[in-house]
Amino acid sequence: MTSDASVDATGRAPLIELKGVSCSYGEHLAVRSVDLAVPARQFVAIVGDSGSGKTTTLKMTNRLLEPTSGEVRIGGEPTRSQPPHLLRRRIGYVFQRIGLFPHLTVAENVGITPQLLGWPSAQIASRVAELLALVNLPSEFASRYPAALSGGQRQRVGVARALAARPAIMLMDEPFGALDPLTRDALGTEYRRLHDKMGLTTMMVTHDVFEAVLLADRIVVMRGGAIVADGTPRELMNNHRDEAVRAMMDMPRRQALRVAAMLDQETGHG
Amino acid sequence: MDERVAAAWSVLPEYLGEHVLLSAAAMGLGLAFSLSLTIAAVRSPHVRWPVLLLASLVQTIPGLALLALFYPLLLALAALSDRLFGQSFSALGFLPSLLALTLYSMLPVIRNGVTGILSLDPALIEAARGVGMTQSQRLTRVELPLAAPMLMAGIRTAAVWVIGAATLSTPVGQTSLGNYIFSGLQVQNWVAVLFGCVAAAGLALIVDQLLALIETGVARRSRVRISIGALVLLAGIVSAAASRNDVDAARYVIGAKNFSEQYILSALMADRIAAEGGSTVHRTGLGSAIVFDALAAGDIDAYVDYSGTIWANVMRRTDIPPREPLLREMSEWLDREHGIVMLGALGFENAYALAMRRDRAAELGIRSIADLAEHASTLTVGADFEFFARPEWPALRDAYGLAFANRREFQSTFMYEAVTTREVDVITAFSSDGRIAANALLVLEDPQGAILPYDAIVLLAAKRRDDALLRRALEPLVGAISVDLMREANFRVDRGDEPESPTAAARWLATRAIASSQ
Cα–Cα distance, B54 to B61 (Å, whole number): 11
Confirm if A118 and B132 have CB atoms less than 8 A apart.
no
CB B285 within 8 A of CB B182: yes
Tell whether A240 lies on the interface with B, counting CB pairs under 8 A: no
Listed residue (A98, A39, A101) closest to A73, CA to CA:
A39
Edge to edge, what strands does the sheet with A69-74 contain?
A: A28-38, A16-25, A69-74, A77-78
Q: How far apart are CA B263 and CA B9, in angstroms?
A: 19
Give the predicted TM-score (pTM) of the model.
Answer: 0.70
Question: CB of A101 within 8 Å of any CB in chain B?
Answer: yes
Tell me the chain B residues in contact with residue A98 when contact means C-beta distances shorter than 8 Å.
123, 127
Question: Which of B121, B131, B133 lies nearest to residue A161, judging by beta carbons?
Answer: B131
CA–CA distance, A233 with A135 (Å, rounded to integer):
26
Q: Which residue of B has its CA nearest to A89?
A: B132
Q: How sure is the predictor about B187, in pLDDT bands with cuts at 50, 70 and 90? A: low
SS3 B237: helix
pLDDT of residue B28: 94
C-alpha span between B13 and A265 (Å, rounded): 94
**What is B11-50 written as a DSSP string?**
HHHHHHHHHHHHHHHHHHHHHHHHHHHHHHHHH-HHHHHH
DSSP string covering A126-144, please?
HHHHHHHHHTT--GGGGGS
ipTM of the complex as predicted:
0.90
**For position B325, what pLDDT does the model report?**
92
pLDDT digits (tens, 9 = 90+) for B424-447: 999 988 888 888 878 888 888 888
**Radius of gyration for the alpha carbons in chain A, expressed in angstroms and rounded:** 20
Please name the member of A64, A100, A117 whose beta carbon is closest to the beta carbon of B129. Answer: A64
Query: Per-residue pLDDT tens for A118-151?
Result: 999 999 999 999 999 999 999 999 999 999 999 9
Higher pLDDT, B28 or B95: B28
**CB within 8 A of B251, min separation 6: which ones?**
B278, B279, B280, B281
Q: Which residue in the set B126, B146, B221 is minimally distant from A95, CB to CB?
A: B126
Q: How many residues does chain A have?
A: 270
Which of A184, A204, A236, A234 minimizes the C-alpha distance to A42? A204
CA B443, B449, B451, B457 dihedral sign is positive
Q: What is the mean pLDDT of residues A5-13?
A: 52
Contact A70, A33 (CB under 8 A): yes
Contacts of B221 in chain A (CB under 8 A): 103
User: Shortest CB distance from A101 goes to which of B132, B142, B221?
Assistant: B142
Interface membership of A133 toward B (CB under 8 Å): no
Set of chain B residues whose Cβ sits within 8 Å of the Cβ of A100: 127
Distance CA B229, CA B224 (A): 9
| B328-346 pLDDT per residue, tens | 999 999 999 899 999 999 9
Q: How far is A240 from chain B (nearest CA, A)?
A: 36
Chain B hits for A174, CB-CB cut-off 8 Å, are none
The chain A residue lying nearest B220, using CA atoms, is: A103
Amino acid found at A245: V
Judged by DSSP in three states, B347 sits in strand
Kindly list the residues from chain B whose CB atom is less than 8 angstroms away from the CB atom of residue A85.
129, 132-134, 137
Q: What distance in Å separates the CA atoms of residue B314 and residue B312, rounded to the nearest whole number?
A: 6
**A265 vs A125, which has greater pLDDT?**
A125
Considering only CB atoms, B146 lies closest to which of A83, A103, A162, namely A103
